Amino acid sequence: MVHELRGPRRRLVETLQANGIRDLSVLRAFDEVPRHLFVPTGVRHRAYEDAAQPIGSGQTISQPSIHAMYLDVLQLTGKERVLEIGTGSGFQTALLARLAAQVFTIERVPALMDRAKEVLRSLHVNNVSYLVGDGTIGWREYAPYDAILVGAGSPGVPQPLVDQLAIGGRLLCPVGDRTKQDVVLVTRDIGGTRTTVIADARFVPLVGTHGWIDEPTA
């Protein structure tokens, strides 16, 4: 099953490379992780298109070029402790597991976490710790983190996540309104933090104490 759709996967890697992804370890991870296992069976034939796909519970798996951009910016060396906010499908978690030493991932929707765990365990991913809860408050027990990735759009960078960033660490977060954001890179050094805008993007809202307050449906 892992080796299914090898051709489309290779074409996706070539597309990412043509679009400026330079980190060979990131490209290798995309080549090795079977994205089709992380999407619903109804859209599996589209798994290697550079497009977001629905995964249920009102959430999406981001388009591959967004995941690749995140990972390319972070320049992981394999030694890092990484915090992921928004497990979602678990695809980015699988990529991170190949690129970092330890991954800590938080998801607020239990059904999504259960499904992600199932797929990741089927792929023998064993350097990931899972938490169902409010990602906007982070996971202080295992801080500080060398890298933090936020996979949903927030009105601002959640301060608890900044507080849990290691000296020399990098944090990526989409900041803006509920429909359109700028991905910002926050880097921390001894003197404080520095924020740089990386790209524009469209993510689902980051719901939580330091994100958007979930609005009741009519």
Higher pLDDT, 75 or 3: 75
Q: What is the pLDDT of residues 31-89, one digit of tens each?
A: 999 999 999 988 888 999 999 998 988 888 999 999 999 999 999 999 999 999 999 99
What DSSP character marks residue 217?
A: P
What distance in Å separates the CA atoms of residue 10 and residue 52, rounded to the nearest whole number? 18
What distance in Å separates the CA atoms of residue 160 and residue 149, rounded to the nearest whole number? 13
Domains in the chain (CATH in brackets) are 6-201 (3.40.50.150)
Positions annotated as catalytic residues are 62
Average pLDDT over residues 108-116: 96
Model confidence, pTM: 0.94
Question: Binning pLDDT at 50, 70 and 90, where does residue 216 land?
Answer: very low
